[in-house]
Amino acid sequence: MPFVKKISIKLKLSLILSLLFFAEPGFAQTMSMPSYSTTGTFTITLNNVYSWAIQEANGSTWKTVYTGSAFEARSPITVTKPKGTYSYRLYNCVPNVNGCSYSSTKTIIINVPDPVPLAPTLTVPTTDADGTYSISWSNPQHAHHFVVEESLNSGSWSKITTTSDNSRSFSGKGNGTWSYRVSACNTAGDCSSNSSIKSVKVALVVEPANFSYTYDALGRLIQTQKHGLIKTSYCYDKAGNRLSVSEGGIDGDPCAEY
């Protein structure tokens, strides 16, 4: 029995020394962690803890996410979180010595770049007759903005806009095959592959000129009009000889001065 008694004495002594350690005047519980992460994975390190819990808040509500003892606090705690801002505080209890208390709050910002979006789906009209048309594209997940490129008649590509919109309108386009491709980019500027190339063939339709003619009582041409507007005026003398030709509209009688 002396051997058992000796073990009992050692255990009691170990407990007393442990309590004395936590009761030292300089004792202070600490929790260390970074304040910023671009990977979403970080570590929390504890010191001078006995029976502890770590609480987390992503907003105003706190919840306990880790608990343990002094022995379990010897290794850093690895935490993985998605994008956001998270606060942590330590709740530590030392029985019969310091009681229970909270540490100061630590906050970390997780800024993990969004994944690269998939290529958008592009929609383009196949033909156009007046040089005015619109193109549009889908909005894949994680897309922040789009890069739109254009090519005429299979020539070189040129960037025409970087936009957060999902469409683009054009006017004044001449005859030819206008091709387009679009890529989607995340907040970090990492862009997808280009969409499938889509083309619109512009073939302008020229309206025929609409002319009308005005004659005097003697059957002489005195005015021509194009699309309802006076184009040319003619003036004659009493013998029927043409005196003048005036281009454009003239107020009053074009022959008044003769």
Please, what are the averages of pLDDT over each run of 10 residues along the chain (258 residues)? 43 42 52 95 92 94 93 87 95 78 94 92 97 97 97 97 97 96 94 98 84 84 82 83 75 58
The CATH number linked to 78 is 2.60.40.10
In this structure, is residue 161 part of a structural domain? Answer: yes
Q: Are strands 221-226 and 229-236 parallel, antiparallel or unpaired?
A: antiparallel
pLDDT given for residue 96 in this prediction: 65
pLDDT given for residue 1 in this prediction: 47
Owning domain of residue 240:
211-247
In this structure, is residue 116 part of a structural domain? Answer: no
pLDDT given for residue 4 in this prediction: 39
Domain end residue (candidates: 110, 135, 156): 110
Residues 151 and 227 in one domain: no
Q: Scanning the structure block, which residue is given the tokens 């600490």? A: 30
pLDDT given for residue 73 in this prediction: 76
Max alpha carbon distance in the chain (Å)?
155
pTM beyond 0.75: the answer is no
Phi-psi region at 65: left, alpha or beta (left = phi > 0; alpha = psi -120 to 50): alpha
pLDDT given for residue 42 in this prediction: 97
In angstroms, the CA 179 to CA 46 distance is 61
Residues 9 and 93 in one domain: yes
In this structure, is residue 256 part of a structural domain? Answer: no
Residues 104 and 8 in one domain: yes
